[in-house]
């Protein structure tokens, strides 16, 4: 990336919270990845719009992240700009049973807040290690629930303009959504929930207990690695291929849940990517199933 363009972009955005050479291992749940040239920690929608617009105008690639889950950043880092939508964009408001929140709020926090406000409908989201913006961008789901079921409207940036439109269920599918950066950058969303039937808190505690029992939450990871093959479960196929505990460097197929790759300490993105490729080859040979990676892979080698 041209140093002149990067320096000019840094100077143009100097009034924002912008930093140079930020290690992406500090911004991802996998705790790996090389440095990003520039990172903006956005404090509001207008700052997101300004940062994205400035990068685009100068021909600088940009990426938008929340808490860095479901993300693998290569070891060479990111040549360009990263825009972080986090705690500064986590406001909440309620109108009847319609709950509106900023894109940076953690999904688990929002799920508990819904219960505290006497609502139900997003219990399934408790424990998902992502933000509301990320959940909209990939139609997150678990335990039979998904964003598609509760998403009423989304406020986002598109072509430099801030818009809000009703969500259309037919546009949302399994890890499919029209609200993905850089085309659309989610700023907030309104969820259509229901009055609590008295069991929402218990359901959330149950889901959290199931996650703790079955998933390797004690180690850094980026969540489930592969998309669910039609009629099958990726974790079961990987386990059936005898790959639990398989390691490449510091990356390991979790002994607790074969659908996860965990960072046992000192893992590089290269370790993870080589392990992903090995898993795909072994599962294809054993079952004839081509596993597709669910996690987003960005950056340079």
Check if the beta carbon of residue 53 is closer than 8 Å to that of residue 160: yes
Which residues have CB under 8 Å from 49's CB, separation 6+? 157, 160, 162
Render 195-242 in DSSP notation, one character per residue.
Answer: E--S-HHHHHHHHHHHHHHHS-TTS-EEEE-BPPPTTS-HHHHHHHTT
Which residues have CB under 8 Å from 136's CB, separation 6+? 103, 147, 151, 154, 177, 179, 186, 189
CA 44 from chain center: how many Å?
19
Report helix, strand or coil for 175. Answer: coil
Question: Which one of the listed residues 188, 221, 224, 254 is annotated catalytic?
Answer: 224
**Tokens 């039937």 sit at which residue?**
197
Question: Is 47 an annotated catalytic residue?
Answer: no
Question: Is 20 an annotated catalytic residue?
Answer: no
Question: Which one of the listed residues 43, 58, 79, 175 is annotated catalytic?
Answer: 175
Question: Is 56 an annotated catalytic residue?
Answer: no
285's enclosing H/E stretch is helix 269-287
Residue 197 CB neighbours (<10 A): 8
Report helix, strand or coil for 14. Answer: coil
Render 109-161 in DSSP notation, one character per residue.
Answer: HHHHHHHHTTEES-GGGTT--SBHHHHHHHT-EETTEEHHHHEEEEEEEETTE
Check if the beta carbon of residue 107 is closer than 8 Å to that of residue 128: yes
> Which residues are the active-site residues?
175, 224, 294
């Amino acid at each position: 990336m041209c140093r002149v363009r990067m320096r000019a972009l840094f100077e143009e955005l100097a009034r924002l919270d912008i930093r140079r050479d930020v290690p992406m291992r500090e911004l991802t749940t996998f705790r790996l990845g090389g440095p990003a040239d520039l990172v903006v920690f956005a404090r509001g929608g207008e700052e997101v719009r300004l940062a994205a617009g400035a990068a685009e105008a100068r021909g600088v690639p940009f990426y938008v992240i929340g808490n860095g889950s479901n993300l693998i950043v290569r070891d060479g880092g990111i040549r360009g700009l990263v825009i972080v939508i986090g705690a500064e964009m986590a406001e909440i408001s309620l109108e009847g049973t319609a709950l509106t929140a900023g894109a940076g709020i953690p999904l688990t926090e929002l799920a508990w807040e819904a219960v505290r406000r006497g609502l139900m409908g997003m219990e399934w989201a408790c424990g998902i290690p992502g933000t509301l913006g990320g959940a909209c961008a990939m139609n997150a789901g678990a335990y039979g629930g998904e964003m598609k079921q509760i998403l009423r409207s989304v406020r986002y940036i598109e072509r430099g303009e801030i818009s809000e439109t009703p969500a259309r269920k037919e546009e949302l599918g399994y890890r499919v959504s029209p609200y993905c950066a850089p085309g659309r950058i989610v700023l907030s969303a309104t969820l259509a929930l229901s009055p609590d039937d008295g069991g929402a808190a218990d359901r959330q505690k149950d889901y959290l207990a199931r996650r703790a029992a079955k998933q390797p939450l004690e180690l850094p990871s980026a969540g489930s690695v592969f998309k669910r093959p039609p009629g099958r479960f990726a974790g079961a196929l990987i386990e059936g291929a005898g790959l639990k505990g398989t390691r490449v460097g510091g990356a390991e197929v979790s002994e607790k849940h074969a659908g996860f790759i965990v960072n046992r300490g000192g893992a590089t993105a290269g370790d993870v990517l080589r392990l992903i490729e090995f898993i795909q080859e072994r599962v294809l040979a054993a079952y004839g199933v081509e596993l597709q990676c669910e996690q987003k892979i960005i950056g340079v080698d």
